[in-house]
Chains A and B, each alone.
Chain A
Amino acid sequence: SAVISQKPSRDICQRGTSLTIQCQVDSQVTMMFWYRQQPGQSLTLIATANQGSEATYESGFVIDKFPISRPNLTFSTLTVSNMSPEDSSIYLCSALAGGYEQFFGPGTRLTVL
Chain B
Amino acid sequence: EPEVTQTPSHQVTQMGQEVILRCVPISNHLYFYWYRQILGQKVEFLVSFYNNEISEKSEIFDDQFSVERPDGSNFTLKIRSTKLEDSAMYFCASRGDGTEAFFGQGTRLTVV
Q: Decide whether A and B assemble into one complex.
A: no
